[in-house]
Structure 1
Amino acid sequence: MDSRSLLKENASTLEFVQRFLDPFVVVASGILLYGIRFESWDFPMNYVFVLIGGFLFCLAIFPFFDMYRPRRGASLWAEIQILASAWTVVCAGLIIVLFATKTSTYFSRIWIGQWAIAGFVSLVAFRVTLRVGLRFFRRRGFNLRFIAIAGAGKLGRDVANRLAASPWTGLKVIGFYDDDPRIQRQVLEGVPVRGGLHCLPKEVVELGIDQVWIALPLQQDKQVKSLVAHLSRLPVQVTFVPDIYGVHLLNHSIGEVAGFPVIHLLESPLSGVQGIVKAVEDKILAVLIMLLAIPLMLLIIIGVKLSSPGPIFFRQLRGGLHGERIWVWKFRTMKHHTEPPEKVSQARPGDHRITAFGAFLRRTSLDELPQFLNVLKGDMSIVGPRPHAVAHDEFYLQQIDAYMLRHHVKPGITGWAQVNGWRGETGEIEKMEMRVKHDLYYINNWSLWFDLRIIFMTIFMMITGKNAH
């Protein structure tokens, strides 16, 4: 047997073993913590039962989070997020069982808390070790999947380049297949063009090809149908790479509607269960923050009134979800003045309209506190793309192609763009383009953990007061 195919042929065995190693890692961390905390390895039966319960919960719940499917191209962070969700459900299930059976008082709460943390850390450490080990073997030619690309055009070459730049995935391109006679037998991006599309089915068997990636232009749909028909008779995985990457995508995914396979190009990630999670997160955090901030807001109200004559609050019509107009509230930071309805002048460094107290509020972002009322009302989220004045939306819509994609989710008090320095004035098109780029990254990669990360980064920036005026 070829040693390079050893891990590949035992991939299903590795997956099966991993399903049992995860619960063992969790139990081992609980046993170790008990021995350290109580300086004894003599386990009472109630602790034995809860450890067995943890084992069984992991065994039953983890597969529902799709934790054991191949993740050659997925990032470690994405895997950790899934792991955190699954482990949270396991811990919640165990706690519910303990309270339901009225046995929670028989356990050390400190030990349970430590086990919850240590179990997660141990699972992450196990995943990291497994990834490092697999990458070590894959970089040396073991555990490979051999890829043939149908189509040697721009899209096919881009696929080959990206896979070559990621050897840790274990995906090795061994040949292009294309009907263009001008490139036959040439070497493109370090990969040979082995022949036309008609040669591919035969060489799947001869060369031991594991996967065929079809990267043909949309106008070659007849060739795609014919190729898939021939490959369907062979034991090979077929992946279609749609020629859609010249357009802006938003949370794109594959689904099925009325029996038809469909590719969603522009879709909000915050719908269904995820939308409910986001809404609950917003409401709970908004209520907690408003309650904690009441004394501070009273002081700010006094400061605003003493800083200059005028109202306490400033409100502005801005673009909300799906482009709908919403009133956004802030503490007033400027001297009271009026502007024509069609004109919105952004604050600039050294702007004479900003009061001394207003400059402090802007630097610390405390002027945004009233927007938690917008969150409670449902107009905004705590985290999301910052809402812009309607006049700015209308202007940038004409200047930046993907600008309105950011309106597929509710605007936020803070966002990924803001914690990366793209806050404050955006007078130049390039600055707004960078803000939009970060907003779309947030939408495409949303998760509860991503939101919490941005919130913590925002708190840090409030202390340092960067990029605000």
Structure 2
Amino acid sequence: MKNKTGRYSAYIRPFSYFIDLAIINLFAILLLSENVYSIYFVVFSSLSWVIIALNVEFYEVYRYTKIIAIGNKILKQFALFTIICFAYFGIFSNHSNARETLIYTLLTLLVVAFAKIFIYYFLRKYRRLSGLNYRKVVLLGSAKQVKQLASFFNDNPDYGYHLIKIFSTDIDKKLAIEMCCEFTEKEEIDEVYCSLFDLSNLQVNELVNFAEDNNKIIKFLPDNKNYFARNLKVDYYGYIPILSLHKTILHDPLTKLFKRAFDIFFALITIIFLLSWLTPLLAILIKLESKGPVFFKQGRPGIDEKEFFCYKFRSMRINATTEKEASKNDPRVTKIGKFIRKTSLDEMPQFLNVLIGDMSVVGPRPHLWSQNKVYGNKIKKYMVRHFVKPGITGLAQVRGYRGEIETDVDMVNRIKYDVYYIKNWSIILDLKIIFLTVFNIFKGEEKAY
């Protein structure tokens, strides 16, 4: 099990959202008159703020982002937010006051801008002084090509990158690549930076596949070839251009927001109208047949391979082999367990996992840690499934690859469908998978045991 707790700033962005929304609503209370301020404005302004922020990428600030770029984001955000506020008061308020609205947006601008810039510089200072919130990186390329980037990492500790090692391709390129991959996996390196000048197309593809298979971030120093035409985006570390692979559509902020909203809505509907009466009924049946808790929870690898507890209705007698999948005619499974597993009712508590944000309604099914260990380095692109949240149901499941993994071919096909889903997501595909899941429950599935 991998544990990266404390090294990444996973909570900084949600914290920034919370701070900014608190500021705009606090200033609305303090500066807007009672006949203008209302709960409707709170909802409207908060939603508008988030939608604008997603479109102008207001919170897409990284450790290498320049302060001038942050200033540009602030101006874009507030230009649109000011227009939205004036439009709201012009349409919905009979007591609109242009001066009052302008003072409100300007003061909010100043405070939010100060908070954003303060957090930016505080984190840089924090990284420099504490050595925490860092990422371990390695470089691959000739000494001449990677020299400037190596100096940047060493001279700018406030960016939070620790350069661990440089793998020179000057003598033996193939050996350098092999050593780099082996070292990256063994030492749990976070990011690999490669010089495209020193690599062939085949070697680039090999490195990309290695990064995907091992859930590593790979970035490139560009050369004079036409690599900008590939599926790459350009960032700047100081004045050094760095190429990185574009994420899938599921990493787009608007898509993530939409999918999360859909998950919450679907989970709430299911919990209120189904689990509210089904849980006490199944609890009685489970307790009558065997001793033990109603719910079964188990640690599973989730997004970015971070552990979460996956909940189910208990379908087995208490046993010591929980890291083993159920097989056909498994003696551990109870009578009521056979029914709820056949109808997939045992998975219903996972809507609680969806509600708290550990899972999605649709996505790759979360595997056992033991399966991750066995198949992680054995099957190509296996680790790609950890790019997104695991799901209650998925494309592999509705295509017949659910339940026990009997051969490596079963897992290969499951991964094939998982990767296809991640790279070709659409809301139509999600709805289709949900429909097929329900249809298969009523139809009955051969491997549902």
TM-score interval, normalised by the smaller of the two chains: 0.3 to 0.5
TM-score, structure 2 normalization: 0.48
Q: Quick check: which has more Rg, 1 or 2?
A: 1
TM-score (norm 1): 0.46
Structure with higher RCO (Cα < 8 A, 6+ apart): 2
